[in-house]
């Protein structure tokens, strides 16, 4: 999931318990009252969900299942070319449905036997500490809505295609799942907001937008690239920098555009050593020192 507030539509709880999702005027579904009503209903499911209870099923239309089918098919072609071997192993292991949107409960049922992860529904932006912290317990917060049917290959906000195709396939691989857990442990350990933000930026430049050398080719393992029909064709042309904790933790990014600065791991082992090692051991002091030296 993306972390920045401006990217998520704000959620307003009404006095009668209902929920209104305030889509921006530029959102492709803004003028579609049917879509707006369903977005409100889906957000309400997440707002009223309590951890430990089954996640209520979101009602998707045939048209929405068709979006999933189309995007799944097109992304699979691109994954074969651009995704890391471990992500592709995750795809094989998880076996997501290809012609209908899976419910988040079902994603958890597929994932839990593999790496212990389950999904939690999110109405919109989840506070950083909660979003990252629960990764340590094997929970991943996910939106449930899908993008508007008028632009099947575009979404201004993280939708179920990003959360499930991008993240769950990675979470299905033991070594990536271990990295998510380590990010969660780091978020739990640090106390200052500054240190938490630093931890989240490392997540952004790795598990969201990370790229990795694989033989002679640059591949992607970040969920944000792997779930984006457009960005996956562009990442090799971006400014590719060596994996560096201080640089990742202090580089700014713009969530509303293709990411033009990416950090390359030389291998999965390299990613585990540098980023896994950082998350495993970092604390407020070590991060303050990195920031002071920047």
Binding residues for Fe ion (CB under 5 A) = 1, 223
> What whole-number distance in Å separates Cα of residue 67 and Cα of residue 154?
11
Please identify which of the residues 27, 86, 214, 227 carries the catalytic annotation. 227
Catalytic site includes residue 150: no
223 or 265: CB nearest Fe ion: 223
Residue tagged active-site, from 167, 200, 214, 228: 167
Smallest gap from Cβ 67 to Fe ion, in A, equals: 18
Residue among 3, 44, 163, 208 flagged as catalytic: 208
Q: Closer to Fe ion at the Cβ: 36 or 219?
A: 219
Is residue 162 annotated as part of the catalytic site, yes or no? Answer: yes
**Residue 70 C-beta: closest distance to Fe ion, Å:** 21
Name the catalytic one among 27, 141, 148, 162: 162
65 is catalytic: no
Least Å from the CB of residue 186 to Fe ion: 17
Q: For residues 23 and 223, which CB has a smaller minimum distance to Fe ion in the complex?
A: 223
Is 148 one of the annotated active-site residues of the chain? no
Closest CB to Fe ion among 34 and 154? 154
The CB-of-286 to Fe ion minimum distance in angstroms stands at 25
Looking at beta carbons, which residue is closest to Fe ion?
1
Report, as residue numbers or ranges, the catalytic residues. 162, 167, 208, 227
């Amino acid at each position: 999931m993306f972390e920045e507030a401006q990217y998520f539509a704000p959620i307003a709880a009404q006095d009668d318990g209902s929920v209104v999702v305030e889509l921006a005027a530029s959102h492709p579904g803004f003028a579609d009252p049917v879509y707006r009503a369903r977005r409100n209903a889906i957000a309400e499911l997440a707002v009223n969900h309590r951890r430990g209870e089954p996640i209520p099923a979101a009602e998707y239309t045939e048209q929405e299942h068709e979006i999933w089918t189309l995007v799944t098919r097109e992304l699979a072609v691109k994954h074969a070319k651009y995704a890391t071997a471990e992500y592709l192993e995750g795809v094989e292991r998880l076996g997501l449905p290809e012609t209908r949107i899976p419910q988040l409960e079902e994603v958890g049922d597929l994932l839990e036997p593999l790496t212990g992860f389950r999904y939690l529904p999110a109405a919109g932006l989840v506070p950083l500490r909660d979003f990252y912290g629960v990764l340590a317990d094997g929970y991943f917060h996910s939106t449930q809505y899908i993008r508007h049917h008028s632009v099947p290959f575009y979404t201004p906000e993280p939708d179920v295609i990003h959360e499930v195709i991008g993240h769950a396939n990675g979470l299905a691989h033991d070594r990536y799942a271990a990295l998510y857990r380590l990010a969660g442990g780091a978020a739990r350990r640090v106390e200052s907001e500054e240190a938490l933000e630093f931890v989240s930026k490392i997540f952004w430049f790795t598990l969201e937008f990370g790229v990795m050398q694989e033989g002679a080719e640059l591949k992607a393992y970040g969920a944000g690239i792997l779930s984006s029909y457009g960005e996956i064709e562009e990442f090799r042309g971006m400014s590719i920098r060596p994996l560096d904790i201080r640089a990742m933790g202090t580089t700014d990014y713009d969530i509303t555009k293709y990411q033009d600065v990416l950090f390359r791991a030389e291998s999965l082992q390299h990613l585990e050593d540098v980023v896994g090692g950082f998350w495993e051991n970092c604390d407020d002091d070590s991060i303050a020192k990195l920031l002071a030296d920047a």
